[in-house]
């Protein structure tokens, strides 16, 4: 018997009519039972009382009582006992399914919670594949990094000291004083030719001299100047360059004019030569610097106007 047999709304009046003739011959002597008529078909006779109407609160049937064995003890009730129906017979129902658009579709049944399953616990969010957890650097790692940096700096300093490029050197090999004269007491005219010696003392690397200029001075007063063409110098190489310096009617201070007149009378004249050279390295490590040369030369009065003494220094 289904659970809807006792509901009067699901009965048909034709179902309660007893057939007059049996379908099979052996069933003629069997007494047939007639079901009681539903409440809406009971005869209205005196003394008959209509039963109270049954109110249906929900189409969902009441929750069945949980099955417990005869030797079940009260202490064995599950921890989450509130999830089971109450045993006191109170009229409590399961929650109704949602109505409206969010309800259940046709042909589907509401899914009731299964208390026997373990409750779902969301797992921790895992990072995407390829990401690694950040790790804090240990003191040993920091010490190793600092040691590598210090070692690299030490090696760099050692390489620079060992392979430190040396400056070029300038020297005056020979000088020929052609003429020297003092007109009207303070106008000096000079014509001389000097042979300059440029040497590269480095064992490695080549350099090139550019923007070279040589100036002639007397007692701090510039008399003549000359430019030189650029030329290269390989390691350990030296070259000679002719420099021609000539000036006419250059005014001198009174003290300088009196001094040169005395030197010309004594037969030896003093001059200063200053050179400025711009050098550039052409090796693997390229660098450029300025080179300054200072020379003091002593010449005889022409003729012959030869070089007697010299003193040269070169600075960067």
149-177 per-position pLDDT tens digit: 999 999 988 877 776 777 788 899 999 99
For 72, the token pair is: 């079940």
Q: pTM of whole model > 0.75?
A: no
CA angle 225, 227, 229 (to 5 degrees): 165
Under DSSP, is residue 6 helix (H, G, I), strand (E, B) or coil? coil
Q: For residues 154 and 7, which has the higher predicted lDDT (pLDDT)? A: 154
Q: For position 279, what pLDDT does the model report? A: 87
| Residue 123 confidence class, pLDDT cut points 50, 70, 90 | low
| Residue 33 confidence class, pLDDT cut points 50, 70, 90 | low
Longest alpha-carbon distance in the chain? 180
pLDDT in tens, 239-264: 899 999 998 888 889 898 899 989 98
Contacts of 115 (CB under 8 A, 6+ apart): 78, 80, 83, 84
For 106, the token pair is: 């046709």
Highest mean pLDDT: which range of 27-31, 136-140, 173-177: 173-177
Mean pLDDT of 186-215: 87
Instruction: Write down the mean pLDDT value for the chain.
Output: 73
CB atoms inside a 10 Å sphere around CB 91:
7
Q: For position 61, what pLDDT does the model report? A: 55
Q: What is d(CA 63, CA 59) in angstroms, rounded to the nearest whole number? A: 12
Q: For position 231, what pLDDT does the model report? A: 86
Q: Computed over its alpha carbons, how large is the radius of gyration of the chain?
A: 62
Half-sphere exposure of 176 (CA within 13 A, CB side): 6
| Residue 27 confidence class, pLDDT cut points 50, 70, 90 | very low
The answer to whether residues 202 and 230 touch, using CB atoms and an 8 Å cutoff, is no
Q: In this structure, is the dihedral angle defined by the CA atoms of residues 284, 285, 286 and 291, taken in order, positive or negative?
A: negative
Residue of 286, 285, 280, 256 lying closest to 270 (CA atoms): 256
Q: For position 295, what pLDDT does the model report? A: 93
Mark out the alpha helices in the chain (DSSP H runs): 139-162, 254-266
Contacts of 130 (CB under 8 A, 6+ apart): none
Q: For position 81, what pLDDT does the model report? A: 47
Q: For position 28, what pLDDT does the model report? A: 47
Helix (H), strand (E) counts: the chain: 2, 9
Q: For position 15, what pLDDT does the model report? A: 47
For 177, the token pair is: 């004083």
Residue of 92, 84, 76 lying closest to 116 (CA atoms): 84
127 pLDDT more than 70: no
296 pLDDT more than 90: yes
5 pLDDT more than 60: no
Domains of the chain, CATH where assigned:
169-315 (2.60.40)
Highest mean pLDDT: which range of 41-50, 133-142, 283-292: 283-292
pLDDT in tens, 64-113: 555 555 555 555 445 554 454 555 555 555 555 555 555 555 555 555 55
The DSSP symbol for 220 reads: T
Q: What's phi and psi for 26, nearest 5 deg? A: -75, -10
Q: For position 183, what pLDDT does the model report? A: 85
């Amino acid at each position: 018997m289904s659970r809807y047999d006792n509901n009067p709304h699901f009965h048909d009046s034709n179902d309660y009519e007893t057939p007059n003739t049996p379908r099979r011959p052996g069933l003629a002597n069997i007494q047939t039972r007639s079901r009681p008529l539903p409440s809406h078909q009971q005869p209205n006779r005196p003394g008959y009382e209509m039963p109270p109407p049954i109110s249906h609160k929900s189409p969902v049937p009441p929750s069945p009582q949980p099955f417990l064995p005869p030797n079940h003890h009260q202490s064995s009730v599950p921890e989450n006992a509130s999830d089971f129906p109450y045993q006191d017979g109170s009229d409590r129902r399961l929650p109704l399914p949602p109505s409206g658009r969010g309800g259940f579709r046709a042909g589907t049944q509401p899914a009731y919670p299964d208390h026997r399953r373990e409750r779902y616990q969301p797992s921790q969010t895992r990072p995407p594949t390829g990401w690694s957890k950040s790790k804090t650097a240990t003191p040993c790692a920091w010490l190793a990094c600092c040691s590598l940096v210090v070692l690299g700096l030490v090696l760099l300093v050692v390489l620079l000291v060992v392979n430190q490029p040396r400056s070029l050197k300038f020297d005056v090999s020979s000088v020929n004083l052609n003429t020297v004269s003092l007109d009207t007491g303070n106008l000096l005219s000079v014509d001389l030719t000097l042979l300059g010696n440029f040497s590269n003392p480095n064992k490695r690397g080549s350099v090139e001299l550019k923007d070279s200029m040589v100036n002639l001075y007397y007692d701090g007063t510039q008399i003549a100047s000359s430019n030189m063409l650029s030329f290269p110098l390989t390691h350990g190489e030296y070259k000679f360059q002719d420099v021609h310096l000539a000036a006419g009617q250059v005014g001198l201070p009174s003290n300088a004019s009196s001094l040169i007149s005395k030197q010309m009378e004594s037969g030896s004249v003093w001059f200063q030569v200053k050179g400025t050279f711009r050098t550039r390295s052409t090796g693997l490590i390229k660098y450029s610097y300025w080179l300054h040369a200072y020379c003091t030369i002593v010449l005889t009065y022409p003729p012959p106007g030869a070089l007697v003494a010299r003193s040269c220094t070169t600075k960067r």
